[in-house]
């Protein structure tokens, strides 16, 4: 179940960033999920919520995600979304976007002291 590992890694990344910045709370984590990452973002969101339930630092925290479409390029100059066969030359294009899972933003609260 790779989704649990991804959810935990997002939680741990946000927790580490919050502690390093003396946060009193984590409000929102934004993440990108590539279409080719083979991860179900809805399951990650559910598991992330379960991980946050017992952590006071994450009270009310939400995980927002964006699906990143596949983008490919080929040595012949083709750029598009064909994943397996370049429509111009028949070669295998290189996937340059759409495989990543990336935390893009973490919103935290801090005391103004």
pLDDT tens digits, 61-89: 999 999 999 999 999 999 999 999 999 99
Could you tell me the residue ranges of all domains in the chain?
A: 2-68+99-110
Backbone angles phi, psi at 6, to 5 degrees: -65, -45
CATH architecture of 2-68+99-110: 2-Layer Sandwich (3.30)
Give the residues across from 10 on adjacent strands.
none
45-60 pLDDT, tens per residue? 999 999 999 899 999 9
Q: What percentage of the chain exceeds 90 in pLDDT?
A: 93
Residues at the annotated binding site for Zn(2+)?
A: 74, 76, 86, 89
Pairing of strands 71-73, 94-97: antiparallel
Q: What is the pLDDT of residues 26-35, one digit of tens each?
A: 999 999 999 9
Token pair belonging to 43 = 């399951």
pLDDT at 112: 75
HEC readout, 44-100: HHHHHHHHHCCCHHHCCCEEEEEEECCEEECCCCCEECCCCCCCCCCCCCEEEECCC
Using DSSP's 3-state secondary structure scheme, residue 18 falls into helix
Q: Which residues are annotated as a binding site for Ni(2+)?
A: 2
111's CB contacts (< 8 A; 6+ apart) are 22, 24
Q: In this prediction, what percent of the chain has a pLDDT beyond 70?
A: 98
pLDDT score recorded for residue 111: 84
- Name the binding residues: 2, 74, 76, 86, 89
């Amino acid at each position: 179940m790779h989704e649990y590992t991804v959810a935990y890694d997002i939680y741990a990344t946000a927790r580490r960033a919050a502690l390093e910045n003396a946060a009193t709370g984590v409000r929102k984590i934004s993440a990108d999920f590539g279409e080719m990452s083979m991860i179900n973002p809805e399951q990650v969101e559910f598991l992330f919520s379960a991980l946050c339930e017992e952590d006071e630092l994450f009270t009310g925290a939400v995980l927002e995600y964006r699906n990143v479409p596949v983008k490919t390029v080929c040595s012949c100059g083709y750029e598009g979304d064909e994943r397996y066969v370049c429509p111009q030359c028949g070669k295998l294009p290189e996937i340059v976007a759409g495989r990543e899972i990336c935390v893009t933003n973490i919103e935290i609260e801090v005391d103004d002291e």
